[in-house]
Structure 1
Amino acid sequence: VRVLRPLIDEAGYIEAIEDPNAIVITDTLANVDRIVAIATTFDGEAEMDAEVIRFTYAEAGTVATAISEVLGAAGTGARLSVDASSNVLLVRGTQRDISQIRSLARAMDTSPRVAQSETVSTSIYRLQFGEASIVADLVRNTLTGSTDLTNPVAASVGEDPANPDTKIFAVGPEAAPISPVSVQASIETNSVIVRGTQRQLSEVSQLIKALDVRRPQVMIEAAIVEVSGDIAERLGVQLGIGENSQTGGIAATSFGNGGGALQNILVALGQSNAAALSTGLSVGLASDNFGALIQALNTSTSANLLSTPSVTTMDNQSATIVVGQNVPFRTGRVTTDGGNVTEVIKREDVGITMVVKPRITAGGVVQLEIEQEVSSLTNQAVTGAADLVTNRRVINTTVLAENGGTVVLGGLITDDRLQSNQKVPLLGDVPVVGHLFKSRSDSRNKRTLFVFLRPTIMLTRADLEKAAETRYRRAQSAETAVQPRSILKQEKVRKLPLEIDGLY
């Protein structure tokens, strides 16, 4: 009242009443309104209120800063306080101010807009050449490594020290979380199923595209031959030295395009028409010098061509060829409680076994990992042997060969010596004179095993068709060869069609 009394007109009146804490004013209407407005400002503390505003999506500190900038320092008498730990905003002011601030805060508390690149979706990638399970494992292992993508089944990139169960993904901006990506394989449809954001799917798509490529294939032709006597020694010399080689003479076990090596080998095998053959063993499918070598080995009386296997396999994929018998061997005996004895049998392959793994290197050079075994049952009795006895010759090596070139593995020598005595009973045992009634013979058979290999890279369908056509023509040539006549009635054999397409 003491503050407001100077504002009262001379004819006016103002008085304070303690109970009920009110002011009585008598004056003109305009002056009364002016004094009431001023008095209300002095009575603001009694009308102040407080409210706690909680947020679901927005940060309390960000909202408080934005409201203060919008309303300005003189726009309201309300006071704002932020509790960051609980993400709440404390407001103290009049109900009008609190209502205004509450409306602004609610308008700002909305879910953040998700960028198109962070939208989670699912994509299915149908593979053309790769195997779904292998590609999925490669992608999954890549994502759990040094990339910014993470698979939920893999180990976490990091952990929060305060909460070990919380996964930390160090990707992009520090405040931008990333959802995990899931990679699964569908064996039935040979597909890879990926669920993640658009950015993750884009990276996974590029990775799958790089993995799902057509792998080149390698056709490996082999000739396994046994050469006996001095022919083996002469053939070994020809394998080591090619006098007419364009590269300077030394051909070792990988023949170049020089023609001397092949001609010298055929001469050593007793082929009189060796000079008419084309030069070089390192040729493509257009030439068939490897076929000429096979023919020479097959017709030579000094060589025993054991097998001519061939196999086609993918790059960096092992292939196995087994030509022989599965022979049972006794490995032990088991005695039952009733006294019955049962023999333990184990079957093993006896014959020709070749395991080869090609790997195409730079420049079209083929690296061959070879395991070659030639085994056979022996007819000779071995003292102390419990069962069958086998002869084994094994080559285990890694070599390099040019595309279409031939490499030779050899040097496995078998030296069989047989001594036999025959005599007339009683007379052959007579001293001195008994030598006239008995005979003694010593025989020695020395055989050397050589393995010829020729890898051919096939990158396209045309290469496969060309290889099939070449081998088909070779089979036709063997069929049309003159067969010895016989007086016996022979069954009519179906002939091969002129074209390979006629087989199907």
Structure 2
Amino acid sequence: MSSKPSRCVVLFTLLAVAGCTSSPGKDFFTETIDSLHAKTSPLRAGYSGPAAVTSASNAAQRFNGAQYQGTGQFVSSGAPVTKVTGDGSGKFELNLVNAPIADAAKAVLGDALHLNYIVDPRVQGTVTLQTSQPVSQDALVDILQSALAVNAAGITSRGGTYQIVPLSEIMASTPPVSVPSTSPSGPGVKVQVLQLQFIAADEMKTILEPITRQGSVLRVDSTRNIITVAGSDSDLNAIREAVSVFDVDWMRGMSVALHPLKTSKPEAVAAELDSIFGTKEGPGAKLIQFIPNDRLNSVLVITSRPAYLARAATWINKLDRLAETNESQLFVYQIQNRPAKELASVLSSVLGTTVKTEGQSGGSNVSPDQTPIAMQSDGVTPAPLTGPSPSLPQQDNEAPAHATVVADVENNALLIQTTARDYQRIEQILTKVDVLPTQVMLEAVIAEVTLNDDLKYGLRWFFENGGTKVSVTDVAKAAAAATLPGFNWSYATDNIQVTLSALSKITDVNVISAPTIMALNNQKAILQVGDQVPILTQQSQDTGNGSAPIINSVQMKDTGVILTVTPRINNAGRVMLDIQQEVSNVTKTDSSDIDSPTIQQRKIQTRVLVNDGESLALGGLIQQNNSVDRSQVPILGDIPIFGNAFKQKNDTIRRTELIIFIRPHVVRDINEAREVTDEFRGKISLQTPIQKRRGGTKLQQDLKRLAY
């Protein structure tokens, strides 16, 4: 056996061992030579070379050189491509480096998951997939789909086969559409329909587009508030998670407050708050909203920061208070004691304005039962609110600007359009004039006294010359005589019943009327008992047609007993009475051929002053009626000349005088009104009917209503 082959085997063995144990810093060739030197003996001195012929043992120790073939590559190309390996528990490790997409698909879809797949030839590129620890099948698919997305490719499923196609062709392959609860499992792009609960679909799209893959949001349905998205399972999971973060009941997180305004307009306050908080442009944009509410005259505050509510409330109160001096608004003053038109007229007089009523030039924009008062007009400066009455509160000299007052007659109220500051000043005036008015209860007796021989000079002479024991006092007879000829005296008496009883003993007394009237201070009270009589006022006929009918114009005239009294009370408790009394009778017209009755009138009109509770007697209207009564003996009275002996003629002259007794009772409040009513009720017997009697000396039945 030759020793050369043996030495070669030994050499390569040594080289292999040396290669495994080579020290750092030395190349493979150097390490091999060093190893050979360590195993051979050094040459002896005087060695001149090998002998020409050597023995077999020497041949075994001879070294003829060594050779090692290198790779010729001096840059590392990385670790070699390996397959996906499983650990037997359903988890896998990936170690794909620069693997073509087709190889990666085979390793993941084919070898690991055992799925049928197709790779579109248009999909090119390499992927590197490595995991540091085993991952599940779902994670394995997600890793592959993420790597494919980098290469503009994706996985879609059709008929149980998965296709790797360009992303632009994904939707053309009609991926499955579902809702999250029924989404199919497995790799590939899927389409899901998400139903939003609280957030608007358009707003959700705006949120998703920056944080998802381009084209992930396919469609937005604002009507049904749904959004359609597409992507892999991991993409869809991320989208659903984002939706769950933002699709919440935002109203539960919002803080809301409603602030009513006293003087300001909601639109103006909301605009000022927008500027203060910078809701349009600034750091507070969309963090807080101010919504004006005209119906409630308030501002609605909506904010995502609860702390902003207190700040907003502070500013709203400040702005509302500042606007009291110049913000016009509508106030309603409910009148308590006076008519709306009357109080409006008084207010306009105090403020130096005019009252506009329906039908005046320029028209009116209010209903007929409402009277507007123009507080200021062009070219006219209203008088200051300081009124002439000393009882009114002192005001400054500034008049209300552009204030308007409307008298609501239907509801007896005043509608005042002005600022809050001016309304406070106007309200002070109204509270002074809108007070409970003083009332006067007027007890009157209208009687007709027949003037006989004892009274032939009239009742005035009778009272002045002591014809009765009744105490009377002359009051203002000169003024009465100058005002009304024929009505020339007035007396104050203590007791009406006693006076009438005294007169009834010497003559006939006819009580025409005995009214009791309750009248407001400075208000006219009218009592009328009688008839309306038609009076012919005009006749006309067509002169061109003799047979034309005659057209008569008729006017109705009030007759009977008409009493009109206007009481005026002063601070001393005395009552001034404006009295107008009319007693009229209807008689046949004998003085002309006019077919119309004649009205006989006795009328009194005067003004007197009397103390509270004192009776006043007014008289002096004397009327004389002349009548002729003729009678005869039948047949004999008709004989000429001698018939006069059987005839009788009586000329009767009847003179009467009208006398009026009035007693006022001042009623200042409800308690006094109740007392007067109880007193009057006690004087009248409600159990016995009142019997009216006219004429005669027995006056008791006529005076049952006047139990003084």
TM-score normalised over the length of structure 2:
0.40
CA distance in 2, matches of 1:380, 1:339: 26
CA distance in 1, matches of 2:654, 2:436: 50
Alignment of 1:124 onto 2:350: no
CA deviation profile, 1:245-278 (whole Å, cap 9, x unmatched): 99xx8711589xxxxxxxxxxxxxxxxxxxxxxx
What letter matches 1:118 in structure 2? Answer: T
Change (3 A) 1:179 1:292: same
Report deviation, 1:218: 1.0
Q: How does 1:127-166 map to 2 (within 5 A)?
A: 127-144=335-352, 153-157=376-380
Which letter does structure 2 place at the counterpart of 1:453? I
Q: Tell me if the contact between 1:226 and 1:449 (Cα under 8 Å) persists in the aligned partners.
A: yes
Asked whether 1:441 is paired with 2:650, we answer: yes
- Number of aligned positions between the proteins: 323
Is residue 571 of structure 2 the alignment partner of residue 362 of structure 1?
yes
CA distance in 2, matches of 1:187, 1:136: 10
* 8 A Cα contact 2:614 2:663, kept in partner: yes
CA contact (8 A) 1:323 1:351 kept: yes
In 2, Cα distance between equivalents of 1:114 and 1:177: 20
Matching residue's letter, 1:311: I
Letter in structure 1 aligned against 2:403: V
Give the conservation status (yes or no) of the 8 Å contact 1:254–1:405.
no
The 1:123–1:303 alpha-carbon spacing in structure 2 relative to 1, beyond 3 Å, is same
Task: Tell me the CA shift for residue 346 of structure 1.
Answer: 2.1
Distance 2:375 2:647 in 1: 87
Q: In the TM superposition, what is the alpha-carbon distance from 1:131 to its structure 2 partner?
A: 2.2
Aligned counterparts of 2:657 and 2:675: Cα–Cα separation in 1: 34
Separation (CA, whole Å) in 2 of partners of 1:349 and 1:362: 37
Q: Is the 8 A contact 1:318 1:358 kept in 2?
A: yes
TM-superposed CA distance for 1:132, in Å, is 2.4
- Is 1:253–1:409's contact at 8 Å kept on the other side of the alignment? no
Cα pair distance change 1:434/1:172, threshold 3 Å: closer
Gap change, CA 1:131 and 1:244, over 3 Å in 2:
same
Structure-1 residue corresponding to 2:295: none
Q: Does 1:211 align with 2:433?
A: yes
CA distance in 1, matches of 2:326, 2:653: 82
Shift of 1:477: 6.4
Closer, same or farther in 2 for the Cα pair 1:427/1:199, shift >3 Å? Answer: closer
Equivalent-residue separation in structure 2 for 1:178 and 1:400 (angstroms): 41
Q: Which residue is 2:408 aligned to?
A: 186
Equivalent of 1:237, from 440, 461, 465?
461
Determine the C-alpha separation between the residues in 1 that align with 2:620 and 2:320.
76
Match of 1:321 among 523, 527, 551: 527
**Residue in 1 that maps onto 2:181:** none
Q: Secondary structure at the match of 1:479?
A: coil
Which residue of 491, 494, 508 maps to 1:302?
508
Whole-angstrom CA distance in 1 between matches of 2:530 and 2:439: 26
- 1:345 and 2:554 are equivalent in the alignment: yes
Query: How far does residue 224 in structure 1 lie from its aligned partner after superposition?
Result: 0.8
Secondary structure of 2:473's aligned partner: coil
C-alpha spacing 1:116/1:345, structure 2 compared with 1 (3 Å): closer
State percent identity of aligned pairs.
24
For 2:522, give the aligned amino acid. N
| Per-residue Cα deviation, 1:105-135 (whole angstroms, up to 9, x for no partner) | xxxxxxx999455242443221111222332
Larger Rg: 2
Distance 1:346 1:480, change over 3 A: closer
Number of the residue aligned with 2:445:
223
How far, CA to CA, are the matches of 1:234 and 1:141 in structure 2? Answer: 48
Measure how far apart 1:297 and its partner are.
Answer: 7.2
TM-aligned CA distance change 1:420 to 1:293, over 3 Å: closer
- Specify whether residues 480 and 335 from structure 1 end up closer, same or farther in structure 2 by C-alpha distance, changes over 3 A only: closer
2:410 counterpart of 1:201: no
CA shift at 1:301, angstroms? 6.2
2:684 pairs with one of 459, 464, 475: 475
Contact residue 458 and residue 657 of structure 2 kept, 8 A: no
Aligned 8 A contact 1:184 1:192 in 2: yes
Return the alpha-carbon distance in structure 1 between the equivalents of residues 418 and 647 of structure 2: 92
Measured against aligned partners, the alpha-carbon deviations of 1:164-213 in whole angstroms (never above 9, x if no partner) come to xxxxxxx989xx99843232333333222323334312211111111111
- Within 1, Cα distance between the matches of 2:689 and 2:636? 60
What is the rounded CA distance, in whole Å, between the counterparts of 1:482 and 1:306 in structure 2?
13
Tell me the amino acid that sits aligned with residue 509 of structure 2. Answer: A
The 2-side partners of 1:237 and 1:304 are apart by 20
Corresponding residue for residue 539 of structure 2: 333
Counterpart code for 1:237: W
The unaligned stretches of length 5 or more in structure 2 are 1-318, 355-372, 383-394, 478-491, 693-708
3-state SS of the aligned residue for 1:376? strand
Q: Per-residue deviation at 1:230? A: 3.4
For the 8 Å contact 1:298–1:304, the answer to whether it is kept is no
Check 1:219–1:301 CA distance in 2 against 1; reply closer, same or farther (3 A cut). same
Amino acid corresponding to residue 309 of structure 1 in structure 2: P
Between 1 and 2, higher relative CO (CA 8 Å, sep ≥ 6) is seen in 1
Structure 2 CA distance for aligned equivalents of residues 182 and 451 of structure 1: 48
- Per-residue deviation, 1:142: 3.1
Q: Give the Cα–Cα distance (whole angstroms) in 1 for the partners of residues 608 and 399 of structure 2.
A: 52
Could you tell me how far 1:399 is from its partner in structure 2? 0.9
CA distance in 2, matches of 1:392, 1:154: 50
**CA displacement, residues 139-161 of structure 1 (integer Å, 9 cap, x when unaligned):** 24433469xxx9565343469xx
1:408 has 2:617 as partner: yes
- Determine the C-alpha separation between the residues in 2 that align with 1:172 and 1:315: 31
Work out the CA distance in 1 between the residues paired with 2:475 and 2:496.
15
